[in-house]
Structure 1
Amino acid sequence: MLNKVQLIGNLGNDPDVKYTQSGACVTTISIATTKKWKDRDGNPQEKTSWHRVKLWNKLGEIAGEYLRKGSKVYIEGELDYGSYEKDGVTHYTTDIIASEMKMLDGRRDGDNDNGQRQGGQQQRQAPRQEYGGGGGGQRQGGGYGQQQPSSRQREQPQQPPMDDFVDDDIPF
């Protein structure tokens, strides 16, 4: 069986960081993904979907510290369905429990100065950060506070920074 979700999108609001009674961090973020296409008449169309993502433990702490409304992020995880009752009505929820996160934005102004000059203007860029092993809450059977490298991190050697990457380098 496979239950895997991959998203690239932007945060719709600042992360909501909370802690369980046992001290585990759980951060909730809302990510927007947008699909664009042209209809039969050639008119541009667009649909935005919103996804609620939960990040546990160290992954949640990192998300709470570094992500902000508008941040571009890659999330990998699994779907989790739940329900609750309020005022006699059953409500159903769909969450994504993140196991991996990559921050795709450069650093914001005010962060440490490791920028580069372009067009006479200082631009700050952070190396792309990849975080994994945040756990899936109670379903992971313990492991709170432990951060294991994701299988992708274990299998792949370190890639050189993409700062010098140019669209002309793409072979298609």
Structure 2
Amino acid sequence: MINNVVLIGRLTRDVELRHTPLNQAVATFTLAVNRNFKNSDGNREADFINVVIWRQQAENLANWAKKGALIGVTGRIQTRSYDNQQGQRVYVTEVVAESFQLLEIRTAREGQGGGYSAGNSFAGGNDYNSPYQAPAQSTPNFAREESSFGASNPMDVSDDDLPF
């Protein structure tokens, strides 16, 4: 059986980090994940998904990601239940994250008025300071302004040079 979840979304608030009585770190947060379609008004809606992450991953996420951060999460869906103070059974469905990855660099978020520090993927003990530098512009430039083959155009081939 397969129970895998991959989500990309933005943190709706700062990560809430707590510790169990056995000093295990646990962080809870909510991801706003856009839907793939627009509603009848032409607006894109989002789902707000509750996520839990444990141990070192929880501490890393709480230290590095802040409200508004774009992150990717891999994990599994889990359901649990408990009895509330009124004696009613409450069912909870949430994603238990196994790893996360920050998908924006600090300068991109700070340029939008946010502010958080970003690093590499925290899926395994990766280096926290990414060597990746932000591109100078926010949208890619696909124009072919300068040839990587020098001044000549590599596609200038006469018909006499073709083998057919």
Please say if 1:131 is aligned against 2:130: no
CA 1:163/1:14 → structure 2, altered by over 3 Å: closer, same or farther?
closer
Q: What residue number does 2:142 align with?
A: 168
Q: What residue number does 2:67 align with?
A: 69
Structure number with the higher strand fraction is 1
Q: What residue number does 1:13 align with?
A: 13
Please say if 1:51 is aligned against 2:49: yes
Cα offset, 1:68, TM superposition? 0.8
Amino acid at match of 1:91: V
CA 1:10/1:106 → structure 2, altered by over 3 Å: closer, same or farther?
same
Are the aligned partners of 1:127 and 1:161 in contact in 2 as well (CA < 8 Å)? no
Give aligned pairs, total.
130
CA 1:163/1:70 → structure 2, altered by over 3 Å: closer, same or farther?
closer
Please say if 1:96 is aligned against 2:95: yes
Equivalent residue of 1:58, what SS? helix
TM-score (norm 2): 0.67
Are the aligned partners of 1:53 and 1:96 in contact in 2 as well (CA < 8 Å)? yes
RMSD: 3.1
CA 1:127/1:27 → structure 2, altered by over 3 Å: closer, same or farther?
closer
Q: What residue number does 2:2 align with?
A: 2
Cα offset, 1:161, TM superposition? 4.7
Equivalent residue of 2:142, what SS? helix
Are the aligned partners of 2:105 and 2:134 in contact in 1 as well (CA < 8 Å)? no
Are the aligned partners of 1:10 and 1:31 in contact in 2 as well (CA < 8 Å)? yes
Following TM superposition, the consecutive aligned residue runs of length 4 or more in structure 1 with deviations greater than 2 angstroms are: 36-39, 160-169
Of all paired residues, the percent bearing the same amino acid is: 22
Instruction: Note the 1:32-43 alignment, pairs <5 A.
Output: 32-38=32-38
TM-score (norm 1): 0.64
